[in-house]
A and B are shown apart, each in its own frame.
Chain A
Amino acid sequence: MTELVLPHHAAGRRIPLIGEAAIALAFAAAGALGYFLFPDDLAFLTRLIGIAFLVLSLDLVTGYCGIATLGHAALFGGAAYAVGAACIRGISDPFALLAIGLCSGAVLGLVSGALISRFRGLPQLVLSIAIGQLVAGLANKLQWLTGGSDGLSGLEPGKVFGVFGFDMYSRTAFLLSFTVLAITFLLLRRVVNSPFGLMCRGIKDDSLRARMMGASIYPRFVIMYGIAGAVAGLGGALTAMSTGVVGLDSVSFERSAEVLVMLVLGGAGHLWGALIGSVIFMLFEHIVAAANPFHWMTLVGLLLILIVVFAPRGLIGPLTALCARLFSREKKT
């Protein structure tokens, strides 16, 4: 009987931070691979990382809390506009801009979370769409701030640490985005495995049970929404800085729907699933859209149907099964 409990025990006594160190190394390796193997595609990879932030953010509320939303791009785009507006008004330090993105994303997250978390099911979904449309409408109408349908362009963020300027090959943007992504991922891993995160997963399973344990659901979800907003805001800020433009597409309904598709593709409720989903979807779009610009959406549709049919919980399911199998085989030999 005690044997079965041992894994838990061992987990508690591991060398501290070794899991984090391994993930940081994996990230560094993947980053180096991208940087040196695809020097001409860094702009695309940077855009991918920006979207990965948004998918991770969506995973926090949808995958971990079970909140249905189709307006998540509002957090991403809202922060991108805030960063763009600040940049045009003379704030050029990249870290200051990142902080602006993070804070504005968090505020947007807290505000929309405070509304959305009050409801469940379809009303919640409709409300999320409404908030998304509201932000998109404001982005279009508040011309003095957002540039209206033209958006904001010509953003010129300063040099990172005063040394590394944003170049046309997106080298700096890629390295900065990748580093921020790695740090964010490690922090989020802590959050979802914390007592707070575990309770969120519990609430997603059965909210009445959680309340009967004495847990208040609403404040918890609002806080999680705030964190998700901060993460989405980082993505928005990095995208705005690296591309130099902020447009209406960043707050669009299509963007919200697309990231939900990416999350389902990778596997909601897993941080790795969010990353895998965004990478696969963006790569697929990048390659297939280049090969066949007219029918690529059809192919994406087909891919999704296949995945939903054969791996309803996303690619993370079969992938972890495969890893476990390889690992156990290694152990046997």
Chain B
Amino acid sequence: MSDLLEARHISFSFGGLQVTRDVSFKLAAGDRVALIGPNGAGKTTLVNLITGDIAPSEGRFFMSGEDITACSIPQRVRRGLVRSFQTTRLFANLTVADNVALAIMQRRGLTRRLLSRATDLPEVKAEWSEILGHLGLLGLASRKIVELAYGQQRLMELAIGLALRPKVLLLDEPAAGVPHDETPRILEAINRLPPDIAVLMIEHDMDLVFKFARRVMVLAAGRLIFEGSAAQVTADHEVRRAYLGSYADARRTA
């Protein structure tokens, strides 16, 4: 079987600055991959390239063997390529339920309906109830997003991701800005993602990375400098020098 997502020799320059240099990788079903790297390494740019928010200057993306480089953002989403955002991007003035319901209705092709009431679709309601229940957000269903705590908003990013039934899920720092005692909730939610989807997570919190990832990719100055298991990554000299530094040393002495 071919890989769910493949990046082949992706490069991207912004003005004169080359942000992404010849990046290639593959994601297969069931993959749990972390993408790490120092600030400014081009991690979010890579996610934006994968989702189609920006177009690569060179290289191609494939989903299940099919070239998607020319596909728009919505076309890629319909193929199962879904992302979450580093800074929460939700429909702030809509309710929790409506946010998830919109993702479900969009996936099911119901958002073309003009005259049926959005709240009158029992199959949609059943689905968002299940997703919100799964994430412990059901009690907040009729609250507006602006009324939620930040940690809850981060979980909503996951809820929307789940509602879109992704084949490939890109998580851009899912625990960014979340109080430390709430990260276990995020991790728990991530660990309970459907096992057959491929997940690529960008994360700075190394505890979270080592608990989640079976494979780690390290990006430095736009280039993939390492790809291997979580255990290998701390041992790799180049990675330590480029990024991990103190963390690897701390681990060794601990």
| Contact of B8 with A by CB under 8 A | no
Could you tell me the distance between the alpha carbons of A194 and B111 in the complex, rounded to whole angstroms?
A: 8
Q: Which of A12, A194, A205, A210 contacts B113 (CB 8 A)?
A: A194
**Contact in complex: B111, A212 (CB < 8 Å):** no
Q: How far is the CA of A216 from the CA of B106 in the complex (A)?
A: 10
- Judged by a CB distance under 8 angstroms, whether A143 is at the interface is no
Contacts of B105 in A (CB 8 A): 195, 198-199
**How far does the Cβ of B225 sit from chain A's closest Cβ, in whole Å?**
29
Tell me if A211 counts as interface (CB < 8 A to partner B).
yes
Please state if B91 and A214 are interface contacts (CB–CB under 8 Å): no
B107 within 8 A of A: yes
* Closest chain A residue to B83, Cβ basis: A212
Which of the 9-residue segments A1-9, A44-52, A90-98 touches chain B?
A: A1-9
The count of A-to-B residue pairs whose CB atoms sit within 8 angstroms is 121
B221 interface residue (CB < 8 Å to A): no
Whether B119 pairs with A12 at a CB distance below 8 angstroms is yes
B119 touches A209 (CB 8 A): no
- Interface residue A202 (Cβ < 8 Å from any Cβ of B): yes
Contact A194-B118, Cβ < 8 Å, known A202-B102, A213-B103? yes
**Is A193 touching B117 in the complex (CB atoms < 8 A)?**
yes
Segment 87-127 of B: residues with Cβ below 8 Å from A: 89-94, 97-99, 101-103, 105-107, 110-122, 125
Number of contacting residues on B, CB 8 A? 47
State in angstroms the CA–CA spacing of A47 and B119 once bound together: 36
Residue A25 is within 8 A (CB to CB) of chain B in the complex: no
Q: Known contacts being A4-B140, A202-B94, A206-B92, is A194 close to B106, with CB within 8 Å?
A: no
Are A214 and B77 in touch, CB under 8 angstroms?
Answer: yes
CB distance from A190 to the nearest CB of B (A): 5
Q: A5-B138, A205-B93, A213-B160 are in contact. Are A191 and B115 (CB under 8 A)?
A: yes
Question: Are B115's CB and A190's CB within 8 A?
Answer: yes
Contacts of B195 in A (CB 8 A): none
Distance in angstroms between the alpha carbons of A205 and B117 in the assembled complex: 20
Say if the beta carbon of A215 comes within 8 Å of chain B: yes
Tell whether, in the assembled complex, residue A199 and residue B106 are in contact, meaning their CB atoms are under 8 Å apart.
Answer: yes
Answer whether residue B179 sits at the interface, using C-beta atoms and an 8 A cutoff: no
Q: Which chain B residues lie closer than 8 Å to A211 at the CB level?
A: 73-74, 77
* Contact residues, B105-157 vs A (CB, 8 A): 105-107, 110-122, 125, 129, 138-142
Minimum CB–CB distance for A4 against chain B, Å: 5
Contact among A7, A12, A193 with B142 in the assembled complex (CB-CB below 8 Å): A7
| B101, B117, B141 — most chain A CB neighbours (10 Å) | B117
- Residues of A near B119 (CB, < 8 A) are 8, 11-12, 193
Cα distance A267–B243 when bound, in Å? 52
Instruction: Say yes or no: B139 contacts A1, CB within 8 Å.
Output: yes
Q: Which 10 A/B pairs are nearest by Cβ-Cβ distance?
A: A214-B77, A1-B139, A205-B91, A209-B89, A202-B91, A199-B111, A195-B111, A211-B73, A198-B118, A195-B105
Which residue numbers of A lie inside 8 Å of B, CB to CB?
1-2, 4-5, 7-9, 11-12, 187, 190-191, 193-199, 201-202, 205-206, 208-216
Q: Which residues of B contact A (CB under 8 A)?
A: 51, 53, 72-74, 77-78, 82-83, 85, 89-94, 97-99, 101-103, 105-107, 110-122, 125, 129, 138-142, 160, 164
